[in-house]
């Protein structure tokens, strides 16, 4: 007989929980009547290396009937990868060994797939802040290529309040999420909800838009407009326009995909690089050109997002073809 929630942790005194851990320390949380994992009014939790919605081999669906992970009134929580420093032994060319400091995985990314609801659902309120979603597979298994999508969105952020420092994806090694094959949107941010930063991920092959940022979400940050792109043997140059606030830095992230979404608004299968620009006038288009230190094959498409420090990230831009 299935449980209601697979794991339910409810505060306010149930804080600092570790659910899973390193690559071999995760749990299988699947086949439950409601959410696979629900965190309610908790803080300082770490969730890593779990399989949520699949069998133990992560090859077949055993769906939770609600979202894979549900967070309500949650803060200072990490869902996915955490890196730390460990010790590694290397063999020297002339013989002998040397022990050195090296990166090690403290908490691994989760596989969150095939759930009937969204893969991850975050309900914001005035207490919700500092949630990091790093290095997960959402809608697919370990290989990132097998379609085991969640029924609704990959990640769904609702609640209609400003939630500072909710980061979906990070710049460190392995901190980007793979969000693919979900039934509706890759990431959905509901109207009135702000502070959601979405960067450095691989997002593609979802049923609808890769990023769906409703019109009153994330302070109406607009995506860039890409006007052209060309490539050489060593780099790719993109011409673009952004609209922002005078004197406030805007980070523009560029992505490549094999083809454009049928909507004409791209997804972003492969993160390429970022560039920062600073508008000089409010709500006036700033035109710029940037050269990215990567090669994009002819026929592929490039898209981009904008992120402002004060508000969050935009959706994807329209596509431009190499």
Q: 179, 253, 178, 172: which is closest to 212 by C-alpha?
A: 179
DSSP 110: P
Q: Which of 278, 270, 229, 272 has the alpha carbon at shortest distance from 251?
A: 278
Interatomic CA distance for residues 241 and 225, integer angstroms: 5
pLDDT average per 10 residues of sequence, the chain (322 residues): 87 89 93 97 95 97 98 95 76 81 79 98 93 97 93 96 92 94 98 94 96 91 96 96 91 96 91 94 90 95 92 94 94
CA angle 281, 283, 285 (to 5 degrees): 80
Closest CA to 179 of 124, 133, 222, 218: 133
Tell me what pLDDT residue 1 has: 57
pLDDT score at 98: 82
pLDDT at 280: 87
Distance between CA 255 and CA 149 in Å, rounded?
22
Domains of the chain: 1-219 (no CATH), 221-322 (2.60.40.10)
What is the rounded distance in angstroms from the CA atom of residue 176 to the CA atom of residue 16?
24
The distance between the two most distant Cα atoms of the chain, rounded to a whole number of Å, is 63
What pTM, to 2 d.p., does this model score? Answer: 0.93
| Cα-based distances in Å from 154 to 27, 112, 297 | 20, 9, 28
Q: What's the pLDDT at 135? A: 96
């Amino acid at each position: 007989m299935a449980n209601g929630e697979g794991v339910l942790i409810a505060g306010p005194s149930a804080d600092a929980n570790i659910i899973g851990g390193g690559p071999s320390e995760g749990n299988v949380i699947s086949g439950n009547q409601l959410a696979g994992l629900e965190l309610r009014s908790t803080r300082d939790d770490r969730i890593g290396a779990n399989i949520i919605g699949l069998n133990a081999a992560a090859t077949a669906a055993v769906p939770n009937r609600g979202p894979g992970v549900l967070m309500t009134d949650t803060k200072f929580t990490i869902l996915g990868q955490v890196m730390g420093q460990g010790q590694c032994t290397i063999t020297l060319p002339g013989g002998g060994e040397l022990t050195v400091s090296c990166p090690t995985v403290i908490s691994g990314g989760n596989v969150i797939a095939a759930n009937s609801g969204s893969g991850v659902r975050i309900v914001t309120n005035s207490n919700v802040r500092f949630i990091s979603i790093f290095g997960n597979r959402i809608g697919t298994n370990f290989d990132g290529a097998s379609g085991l999508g969640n029924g609704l969105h990959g990640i769904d952020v609702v609640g209609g309040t400003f939630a500072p420092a909710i980061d979906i994806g990070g710049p460190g090694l392995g901190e980007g999420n793979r969000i693919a094959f979900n039934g509706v949107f890759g990431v959905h941010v509901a109207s009135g909800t702000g502070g959601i930063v979405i960067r450095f991920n691989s997002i593609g092959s979802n049923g609808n838009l890769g990023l769906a940022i409703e019109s009153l979400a994330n302070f109406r940050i607009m995506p860039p407009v890409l006007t052209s792109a060309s490539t050489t043997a060593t780099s790719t140059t993109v011409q673009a326009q952004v609209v922002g606030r005078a004197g406030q830095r805007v980070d523009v992230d560029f992505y490549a995909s094999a083809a454009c979404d049928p909507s004409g608004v791209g997804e972003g299968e492969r993160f390429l690089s970022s560039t920062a620009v600073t508008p000089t006038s409010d709500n006036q288009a700033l035109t710029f050109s940037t050269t990215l230190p990567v090669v994009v094959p002819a026929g592929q498409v490039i898209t981009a997002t904008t992120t402002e420090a004060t508000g969050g990230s935009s959706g994807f831009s329209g596509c431009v073809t190499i």
